[in-house]
Amino acid sequence: MTFTTIEFAVFMAVTFVIYYLTPGKFQWIILLLANGYFYYQTGWKSAFFLLAVVLVSYAFGLLIEKTGQKQYAIAAAVILFVLLLFVMRMPFASMIMPLGLSFYTLQCIGYCIEVHRQTVPAEKNLLKYALYISFFPHVLQGPFADYKELRDQLLSPHRFDYDMALRGCYRIAFGLMKKLVIADRIGYVVDQVYETGEGYYGVTVLIVMILYAIQLYTDFSGYMDMAVGSALLLGIKIRENFNVPYGSKSMSEFWRRWHISLGLWFKNYVFYPVQRTKLCDKIRKTMKKKKNRYGMNVFPTVISLTAVWTLIGLWHGFDWNYLCYDWFCGLIIISAELLKPVYDKVNQSAPKIFASRWMDMLRTLRTFLLVSFSFLFFRPDTMEVTMRMMRNLFTQPYVYQAAEFIYWNVYDLFLIAVPLLILGVVDGMKYKGIDVYERFHRFPAVVRYAAYVGGVLLIYITKGDMSSGGFAYYVF
Amino acid sequence: MSREEILKKVNDIFHDVFDDDSIVVVEETTADDVEDWDSLMHITLISEVESAFGFKFQMKDVVGMKNVGEMIDIIQSH
């Protein structure tokens, strides 16, 4: 039951009504039942996995709290869950890989670590803990929640809040537009090219590469809009996972704006712990003695970023494509750190030019192109296709083929033009920190209602094939 | 050591770590207020504070510290 199906709409409506009719004290039980029903739709084997992971991590939470600062309980928990992820990533397990496992398992690890760090007490009530892990807006694809942030919201009573619910509806509608109109339609155009990559050159590959960057963003962030919107309908605020990533001026800024909750997870549970290891400490001290300020920062950073990006690559899947994709991102971020003194010098040499708006726009364009290029690792099924497309991109421009390619796909490209324009305006406003919802509500009612009708018609007319259903990130 | 004295010492560490003598930290200063204070520089800053005051921060403090005031709270508690 994905967010774009009629079944989900009915499920959401029924949950919504029962939830607000139930006395506040018992609302969390309705949520838990809804979660159970939602996840059970993915199959009983998957449901069994979820149940087992919840039970084991719940028990670990209690054990970790009981053993205090001793390391063995937390070490056992982390090893066990990492092992589970590892085994389930092996080729033989791909057929039974439960939906969302790699998301909720990381969430369980995060919970155990927080209990160990004593930032939260272990949850004593198994059902309340199960509610947190299985919360249906985030169980399949994140965002990774923070137990501290979400627990009270899930358990406290909620009265219907018109403003919040309306915001939720907007987010869902906007997410639907991103997914059904833009992402799915771009899929029609680019899928054929990514199959083998053969016979496409230069500008055509560039166009396909850029289109895929838009597709992945609208697919994944469209899902997140629907997740955030569904939670808002229940009076609950979950984390935002995207913050106008294509407005970033550097790769590291991009990763602070793209899949934010994944970045935060790895920062808290991998980056900082590696930075605090004895090895990194020793390097820092040695460099300090040598009065090497540069090495003091940079070397531990390189070590921890390498660990982070390798692990993110493995988390995406045991596949050279994913690993190369994440290493590529890591490599750019690490190089930027290594070359920072050079960049700083260059920027200071002509501050008028390098601090200008034009330069910022160029940086944004450069980052977007780099990110789009990195997806040449991410999207194809094999490295062979990746290599072919990268080679073909640079061999010859072949503008005639690009014109022909656009001509053949002009219908699909025409249909996404208006939605893309709307997305561009909304993201542009968000980038400037404007509350788009609030701004929209300043319009007279007649304009707003015309926009609703127009929006529904637009989605209906231009949407792709609804039966395709799946989201790009379901594969993880 | 009084809060003011700690703040002064912390301020000197900021000058040293960020290589910028114009930084003036107050209790409310957060990572957003200091240009280069990102997660990469955070750990360098933390370990400099540790060696200056002779104790080790717990991981929950490293991650959870919201501003310089909270850093001083933790320093004072040791």
* Domains of chain B by residue range: 3-76
Indicate whether A25 and A132 sit together in one domain: yes
| Among A155, A183, A217, residue at a domain's last position | A155
Burial (CB count within 10 angstroms: exposed 0-12, middle 13-18, buried 19+), residue B66: exposed
Query: Is A180 a member of any domain?
Result: yes
Contacts with A267 (C-beta within 8 Å, 6 or more apart), sequence order: A308, B39
Asked whether residue A260 is domain-assigned, the answer is no
Domain match, A10 and A148 both: yes
Residues A139 and A186 in one domain: no
Tell me: do A96 and A202 sit in the same domain. Answer: no
Does B43 contact A300 at a Cβ distance shorter than 8 Å? yes
Residues A150 and A196 both lie in one domain = no
Q: Check if the beta carbon of residue A98 is closer than 8 Å to that of residue A50.
A: yes
Q: Which residues of B touch A296 (CB under 8 A)?
A: 44
Domain boundary among A155, A175, A205: A155
In a domain, A351, yes or no: no
Same structural domain for residues A166 and A94?
Answer: no
Which of A118, A267, A281 is the closest to B39 by Cβ? A267
Q: How many beta carbons lie within 10 A of that of residue A4, not counting itself?
A: 24
Q: Which of A114, A276, A296 to mutate to test the interface with B (most CBs of B within 10 A)?
A: A276
Pick the CATH number of B3-76 from 1.10.1200.10, 3.40.1000.10, 3.40.50.1950, 3.40.50.1000: 1.10.1200.10
Q: What is the 3-state secondary structure (H, E, C) of A7-58?
A: HHHHHHHHHHHHHHHCCHHHHHHHHHHHHHHHHHCCCHHHHHHHHHHHHHHH
Clarify whether residues A43 and A141 are in a common domain.
yes
Query: Do you find a cis peptide bond into A143, omega within 30 degrees of 0?
Result: yes
Chain B contact residues (CB < 8 Å to A):
19, 39-41, 43-44, 47, 58-60, 62-64
Based on the fold, state whether residues A136 and A33 are members of the same structural domain. yes
**Domain assignment of residue A324, yes or no:** no
Is A251 domain-assigned?
A: no
pLDDT in tens, chain A (476 residues): 789 889 999 999 999 999 999 999 999 999 999 999 999 998 888 999 999 999 999 999 999 999 987 889 999 999 999 999 999 988 888 778 888 999 999 999 999 999 999 999 999 999 999 999 999 999 999 899 989 889 999 999 999 999 999 999 999 999 999 998 899 999 988 998 998 888 899 999 999 999 999 999 999 999 999 999 999 999 999 999 999 999 999 999 999 999 999 999 999 999 999 999 999 999 999 998 998 888 888 999 999 999 999 999 999 988 899 999 999 999 999 999 999 889 989 988 888 888 889 999 999 999 999 999 999 999 999 999 999 999 999 988 888 988 999 999 888 888 889 899 999 999 999 999 999 999 998 899 999 999 889 888 888 877 766 545 566 666 66
Domain count, chain A: 2
Last residue of a domain, one of A155, A187, A222: A155
CB contact under 8 A, A276 and B62: yes
Residue range(s) defining the domain that contains residue A50 = 6-155
User: Best of A270, A301, A303, A340 to disrupt the B interface by mutation (most B CBs within 10 Å)?
Assistant: A301
pLDDT at A39: 94
Q: Cβ contacts (< 8 Å) between A347 and chain B: which residues? A: none
Q: Tell whether A301 lies on the interface with B, counting CB pairs under 8 A.
A: yes
Are A87 and A186 found together in one domain? no
| A384 is a domain residue | no
CA distances from A63 to A59, A77, A235, A437, B73 (A): 6, 10, 33, 45, 30
Within this chain, do residues A126 and A189 fall inside the same structural domain, yes or no? no
Nearest CA in chain A to B16: A293
Q: Report whether A133 contacts A31 (CB < 8 A).
A: no
B59:A275 CB<8 A: no
Amino acid at A413: L
For residues A117 and A48, state if they share a domain: yes
Minimal Cα–Cα distance from B72 to chain A, Å? Answer: 19
Task: Tell me the C-alpha distance between B31 and B42, whole Å.
Answer: 9
Q: Which of A251, A252, A264, A272 to mutate to test the interface with B (most CBs of B within 10 A)?
A: A272
Residues of chain B neighbouring A273 (CB-CB closer than 8 A) = 59
Phi, psi of A35 (to 5 degrees): -60, -45
Q: Is residue A340 part of a domain?
A: no
ipTM: 0.90
| Residues A179 and A52 placed together within one structural domain of the fold | no
- The SS3 of residue A306 is helix
